[in-house]
Structure 1
């Protein structure tokens, strides 16, 4: 079925049907619902080329994918993309992904923006003083940032979680359990979320007159191998930490392997809290010792960013310019009272 046949079936002009499908605000809700129901019943699919000519819109969200020899992919990003895609499918939007060398992201984003192939841009893995922000602000194209850029004025559209608050609350719980020797297993030190999570730990410890020793901080890619290596290092320190904060359940997977290999008991000799991104293959409640976590869904964040981008393109707003989501602290068996000091 083509647009002409669909419009004849509905008794509406082709222009009205097209505008209803593309979310134009001047089409009333009853007509839009009627058109959408007919689309569902007939299996009509709009011709993308014709739709683009009629609306000037590509129906696409653009993102740059850093890639290079030795550059590792990230399971967390995959879960976020699943949410972004889930919402894009609902609106018949596409992704345009431009691979680029990690050192060429600014130029790659600009090329993508001026290509005419996308209506909006999404960026992630924000860094302190992120060099992509000035370029994004110079464009006349909608964009949303997942995260924030530490040290930069927050005058851009973003969705982020309260990373500092999450790790402040997690540290406070461990302090209440009597722990005084802490270690932090964090993501790469240049990334915004890692900066804020470290600051949250430091702030909570400072309230009790404690400090986070540099030997007790690990910055690395969030893989189980890095979690294993970091925990092995912490366990070899003269004063072994009893409270561990992990930036991801993936890191926690390796950390727990090291704890088990050392013959220690999680939740008794060592307490551990991980940031849980509700990863489908790493459910914290299914660990041999269920993990205490700070919870926030990456998939839900992906859905929300897609809603904002697509809604802005379709002029279906208004949408909030900035959103800061709180995390949940879910207490399970991996945290317990500090062991008695010998």
Structure 2
């Protein structure tokens, strides 16, 4: 992971003053579980603190000392007796090595105990609060993708009152919804199961699909754009089902436009920016064309029972 990606990842999970005020509400059990799961990535870890100085500390001062002697011999004193100098300096080298290791350990402890991201996540779950961002969904269209990653082949899903790791099928349901504010809002639902390397995957059973209601509140970790859950309410949103499977290029572009991960204000979670809205509309047109002509009044309405969603 490059420094830029790591810094972006860290900023995304740290409270940002550029995010405007939101409504605060008590966490639901599922949101609390997700908050605690996210917090595990930022806990103070003695392994991280001690392993680098204890593994590299004993050899780095000696290497630097030896390289310095070799440079001195080559540049200023070709006939100097390095063995004699090393033998006479051994005690000082041991002391310098111990001081170097101790200073490295103290620095790591000081850095991690004062890290703003770690301090935030150490206390945030116990505060039991989330921030809600509300959207009214007018209508939407359902698309599909199959993007199995063999290096990251598990999902975390809410099941039986806890967050569990399950096998990732690679299949995702994408819902592009129009909001009352006139924006495109992108929702994504991933599914467990057997994976396939093909562009077209196996659609899940209808009772497992995300069925959005018209009133959506996205629950965020306070001060961040990191979602901890979705709260739906009201009538089912009119939704057009399509058999449209995204190409690799379309998936990459939609993933970037959706702002689901590692983005900064003024971008908003799930909300497509104006510069990407025309491309999303063309994608919707292609998906609608894959369905064919629809009877009047049936093109957008699908009546299903609401199924709970872990994310």
Whether these two folds match at TM > 0.5 is no
State the structure with bigger RCO (CA 8 A, min sep 6), 1 or 2: 2
> Which is strand-richer, 1 or 2?
2
TM-score by length of 2: 0.25
TM-score by length of 1: 0.23
Q: Which structure has the greater CA radius of gyration?
A: 2
